[in-house]
Amino acid sequence: MCGIAGVLNKNNEGVTEDLILMLSCMHNRGPDGVAIQVGHYKANPLESAELSTPYTDGKFGLGHVRLAIVGGQLGKQPFTSCDGRITLGHNGEIYNYKQIRKRLKPGHHFVSTSDSEVILHLLEEKLAESESLVEALTKMAKVLDGVYSIAVKDHITGEIALVRDLLGVRQLYYSEDPQQVTFASEQKAIWLLGGNKSVRRVMPGHAVVISNKGSLREYRIAEPPRSLNSNRKNFRYNTIEEALRAYKKSLMLAMKKRTAGLDKIGIIFSGGIDSVLVAWLAKDMAKEVICYNAGTPGSSDILFADKVSKELNLTLKVNVITKRSTQEMLPKIIHAIEERDAVQVEVALPIYSAMELAKKDNIKVVFSGQGVDEIFGGYQWYPRIVETEGYSSLRDHMIEDLFLLYKETLEREDKTTMAHGIEMREPYLDKEVIRTAFDINPRLNIIGPYDKLGKRVHRKLANDLGIPYEIAYRNKAAAQHGSGIHFIIDEIARENNFDENRVSTGYLCQLEKRELLGSSQRYGFKYGNKELWMTSPHIQLYLDKIFENVYGKSSSLIDSSEEEELLTNKIIKKI
């Protein structure tokens, strides 16, 4: 896991100073190394002696901060290809990099054992056999198994490409104005250069190509598996026995990929079956597994996590959240996730708090149970969808939820863990696990409109693997409710004079226009308890004020541009 930053100046002015400034605010993403490349000059910007060496400051620069998981200290980026044509920076993990390296043609000069350098030489080969950089990137995406955001400079054509994996597990942002094009793993790095710069996302499965003169075009380079065709009527697995065999095989492989080479890992552990199953499998794949949890005193998540960890003989560490610690954390969390939406902040807070403990234990990689509800039908409103619209419509909603995870969950959780220099891995979002899950007849996961549990195949596998029935079939509250966070933030807001009387009619109108983030907000209103998922306006107003104080601006990230919404809808409809 790393951080990428880049600048293309349209007026042929030097970019080194801007690049160093951008990297300076992302040091948490790369405590193990930092480097920049301007033209063909590479330096460590923390070593002033190197920067004092005479060189010509170029109009394009690429910088990288690195958290070393694979490749050791020799894996410092950016990398440059053997022929000097390509410079590349990568954030993420490629799980089949050893197999790719073996298949590469002889003659490549490797300077590290890094998975990122393998991407470089793979793209080098694909570019040699392609007519364009986009064609080469499309071929590359078909080979890569992993999560990534990538920045590439083609020194022959002058093109720069910003690339993101299919689900958008790793984010990349960019901005354009008359003077320059900037891009980075976090928005704050771009904001540093221009206050209220308008920031956009590189969309999942896409490449944004920037010409030598600074014009931008977006291309789709990665396609979803065929099993996600929402119109399908026939399924590969129609019995529970078939589904369990296929799911077990894909999940075990996903876990082995992500634990390979790791002696010590952490688990974001809520006590729900999704994180419990990850911890249960991980303990046989790594020498040391530590589970981390956070919540208010006596909250259901803490109590159940403690009970489960003892029953399953798992090591658990808990960070108890108080009103005082919450008030201290809120500005830090809003700064970390670059977001002020109440649900996003409330969900991030217990994870942020848990990661404080993981950092003290020198944990570099944590696993989460993210993605199960979307691919196995675990949300409590899904049975209502079956009742009112049928199973085919349910699949449409599940696919929509899966392909909106990038901005509703994945970006938030990446930034929350990386605020502590920790990489998050999501085994349930492995491409083979997703393919398998959507090859299963949805009737096996939700048994009719009155099924209050859902994700039956997932629960049954957990039980078959040795997890007790009462744990495997427990229904867990949403993170912000199970941890008690929602109620403590409400109390803090009121103590700071943010209550219902502070909320104006104009502010309520503004709230109505904001994008609803998360399946709970989109469907919870229609099919579930509206009050449970509705953001209290006085809480949102309080968080808006903190955001303004942190960033000195009244607007969050992209508040989702119309163009992005159209592109997202187009992707989902195509599937």
HSE, CB side, 13 Å, CA atoms: give it for residue 73. Answer: 0
Rounded Cα distance, 301 and 476, in Å: 8
Output b/e per residue, 163-192; b: 16+ Cβ within 10 A: bbbbbbbbbbbbbbeeebbbbbbbbbbbbb
Task: Report yes or no: 164 and 149 within 8 Å, Cβ to Cβ.
Answer: yes
Judge whether 279 and 314 are in contact, CB under 8 Å. Answer: yes
The secondary structure of the chain in percent helix, strand, coil, rounded to multiples of 5, reads 45, 15, 35
**Helix ranges (DSSP H) in 216-299:** 240-259, 273-282
> 379 near 451, Cβ under 8 Å?
no
Within a 10 A sphere around the Cβ of 155, how many other Cβ atoms?
A: 16
Residue with tokens 């993990």: 93
Closest listed residue to residue 244, CA positions, set 436, 530, 385 = 436
CA dihedral 550→554→164→90, nearest 10 degrees, is -30
Tokens of 421: 């220099």
Tell me how far apart the alpha carbons of residues 199 and 197 are, in angstroms, rounded to a whole number: 6
Residue 70 and residue 68: Cα distance in Å, rounded? 6
Residue 453: helix, strand or coil by DSSP? coil
State the Cα–Cα distance between residues 199 and 64, nearest whole angstrom: 20
Residue identified by tokens 């990661």 is: 355
Q: How many residues does the chain have?
A: 575
Cis peptide before 225 (omega within 30 of 0): no
Tell me, what amino acid is at 15? V
CA distances from 555 to 203, 207, 505, 541 (A): 21, 26, 19, 12
Tokens matching residue 311: 């029953």
Catalytic residue numbers read 2
d(CA 272, CA 308): 9
Distance CA 81, CA 153 (A): 11
Question: Which residue, 364, 365, 374, 373, is CA-closest to 396?
Answer: 374
